[in-house]
Amino acid sequence: MPEIRPTVAQKDIICAEIAARPTAMVVFGASGDLARRKLLVSLFEVFKRGLLNERFYLLGCGRKELSDEQFRQVAEQAIQEESGDSSAKAIAPFINKLYYISGDYSDASFYESIKIKLAEYDKKHKVDGAVVFYLAVPPFLYATIVKRLCSAGLSSRSEPDSKRFRLVVEKPFGFSLQSAVELNNKIHGCFDESQIYRIDHYLGKETVQNILMFRFANIIYEPLWNRNYIDSVQVTISEKIGVEHRASYYDKAGALRDIFQNHMLQMLTLVAMEPPISFEADHIRDEKVKFLRSIRPFNVDQLDNFIVRGQYGPGSINGEKVIGYREEPGVNPESRTETFVAAKVFIDNWRWKGVPFYLRTGKRLAGKNTEIAITFKQVPHSMFISAGLDDIPSNILVLQIQPEEGIWLCFQAKRPGSKICMGTLNMNFNYRSVFGIDMPEAYERLLLDCMIGDQTLFTRQDGVEAAWGLLTPVLEAWQNDDAAPYEYPAGSSSFPAADSLIETDGRRWRELLGT
């Protein structure tokens, strides 16, 4: 049985953390940026919290030739740069569990060597538990690695080995509905769905996880969470940065694939899905898939009325001039890749019929901000109309994901002064100020869940395909459209075509944070 470690600070705080069982983790792409900056550092943080089993080890796999000692030096340097604890004494017990092997991902003999190493290290570390294969590699390598794992006998779908082998796949999972289906079919030839962990790091963020707690553990909100009381919902993921070192990938993907298809839709499902019958992985994912299937398909003949794309041009960020997207190194000078997507979607179900959901994501915008803003309907009748208060502002509930994680509620209250003196007040909850700690890195939560076998925060095959089914017609329409994306200056908040999606309904985008 997995070990459950409760941490209870006071009687109304209930915490229970499950520690990882004996686990071997095999990371393909271990010499790359993702492994160095995120995976190794996050695993060290899990180790510091006492949740990494003593019988754990990690085998890094990559094309770059490194010895075990060189790989450990890379890990130590990354931890010292990213973690608060930089002492060699504190890091040593963790990095001594790290090993490395190099080879060609398409070479069958490489996987035989991996198999031999696993047998050797399993015996050394007394691991008789899960083997987690983590694909921290470009998407075009997924099918090749899975096929080779299968040929080497490292992916059995049959009992009892099916419980031992697990596969973690980074986004993007496919580039269209067809490619996602094809990739699913290839992986399912070797791994059962119960063995597959499609990772979306946004789902590991504390405030994103808190959406479920906030909605379904508080009776005061769930009765109001419907078309009768909610006017509209805005979901925003804005970034100040450009494409940086990701130009070669991003110019083929664009904002719709890179952010909208996964991060954006996943947050939307959590805020709007129906209550699951329990806090079990498949019960939660069942409701997420049902919600995705209830999103009204985009009418490709009237696309600009519901979804528009933009691309940043030259502008300024924090007073400094920056180049446009097409001038970025590695970007096609004639690229029509979108760096901004704004959409208006409707949900064809009982709860949300007629409520517009406004979604936007973009790069090189005025502020870094990820939030979900729920605007409630105005009061049906103002009793203060005789005092000129006939248009009372709506209540707004904001779930803030970044740059600061928290929740705030905007409501009306009397201010000191005359008998009728009303104003808008904000009630704020900030994770950092309340708990006095920095928020854990999202990968810490997700890596631990992979090791304990909890798929709650990972997307399922039908969910991936439902999301691509919604967006693939849009991608195809844009590909066949000769028109370029609307250009917006770097450092702006939006552009007229995106504004019109919401302003024609008598609403406005919320102001971006200036961080």
| Separation of alpha carbons 323 and 244, rounded Å | 12
| CA dist 370 → 207, 237, 249, 373 (Å) | 10, 4, 23, 10
**The pLDDT value given to residue 240:** 94
Q: Any idea what DSSP says for residue 311? A: E
CATH 3.40.50.720, the chain: domain bounds: 4-199
| Separation of alpha carbons 383 and 272, rounded Å | 32
* pLDDT digits 0-9 by tens, 46-82: 999 899 999 999 999 999 999 999 999 999 999 998 7
Q: What is the pTM of this model?
A: 0.90
| Separation of alpha carbons 484 and 250, rounded Å | 17
Can you tell me the mean pLDDT for 234-241?
95
Query: Tokens standing for 420?
Result: 């009728």
Terminal-to-terminal C-alpha distance of the chain? 45
Look at residue 373 and tell me whether its pLDDT is greater than 80: yes
**The pLDDT value given to residue 429:** 84
Q: Is residue 85 very low, low, confident or very high in pLDDT (cuts 50, 70, 90)? A: low
Q: Is residue 451 very low, low, confident or very high in pLDDT (cuts 50, 70, 90)? A: very high
Q: Is residue 3 very low, low, confident or very high in pLDDT (cuts 50, 70, 90)? A: very low
**The pLDDT value given to residue 15:** 60
At 179 the three-state DSSP class reads helix
283 is catalytic: no
**The pLDDT value given to residue 248:** 87
What's the residue count for the chain? 515
Which has the higher per-residue pLDDT, 88 or 466?
A: 466
Query: Tokens standing for 321?
Result: 């001039």
Look at residue 11 and tell me whether its pLDDT is greater than 50: no
Query: Tokens standing for 343?
Result: 């959409």
Residue 307 and residue 358 in contact, taking contact as beta carbons nearer than 8 Å: no
Q: Is residue 177 very low, low, confident or very high in pLDDT (cuts 50, 70, 90)? A: very high
Q: Is residue 431 very low, low, confident or very high in pLDDT (cuts 50, 70, 90)? A: confident
Q: Is residue 8 very low, low, confident or very high in pLDDT (cuts 50, 70, 90)? A: very low
**Active-site residue, selected from the candidate residues 125, 188, 201, 263:** 263
| Helix, strand, coil percent values for the chain (each to nearest 5) | 40, 25, 40
Alpha helices in 49-87 (DSSP H): 68-82
Look at residue 488 and tell me whether its pLDDT is greater than 90: yes
Query: Tokens standing for 29?
Result: 């792409």
**The pLDDT value given to residue 161:** 59
The count of C-alpha atoms lying within 13 angstroms of the C-alpha of 417, restricted to the half-sphere facing its C-beta, is 8
**The pLDDT value given to residue 244:** 86
Look at residue 20 and tell me whether its pLDDT is greater than 50: yes
Q: Is residue 427 very low, low, confident or very high in pLDDT (cuts 50, 70, 90)? A: confident
| Separation of alpha carbons 489 and 497, rounded Å | 14
**Domain spanning 4-199 has what CATH number?**
3.40.50.720
Look at residue 207 and tell me whether its pLDDT is greater than 80: no
CATH 3.30.360.10, the chain: domain bounds: 203-380+393-503
Can you tell me the mean pLDDT for 374-401?
80
* pLDDT digits 0-9 by tens, 165-175: 999 999 889 99
**The pLDDT value given to residue 419:** 65
Q: Class of the 203-380+393-503 domain?
A: alpha beta
Q: What are phi and psi of 64, to 5 degrees?
A: -70, 135
Residue 235 and residue 509 in contact, taking contact as beta carbons nearer than 8 Å: no
Look at residue 160 and tell me whether its pLDDT is greater than 60: no
Q: How many CB atoms lie within 10 A of CB 330?
A: 13
* pLDDT digits 0-9 by tens, 284-321: 999 999 999 999 999 999 999 999 999 999 999 988 99
Whole-number average pLDDT of the chain: 89
Can you tell me the mean pLDDT for 112-136?
93
Can you tell me the mean pLDDT for 454-469?
94
Burial pattern 22-56, b for ≥16 Cβ within 10 A else e, equals: bbbbbbbbbbbebbbebbbbbbbbbbbeebbbebb
Q: Strand 356-362 to strand 340-346: parallel, antiparallel, or no bridges (unpaired)?
A: antiparallel
**The pLDDT value given to residue 413:** 74
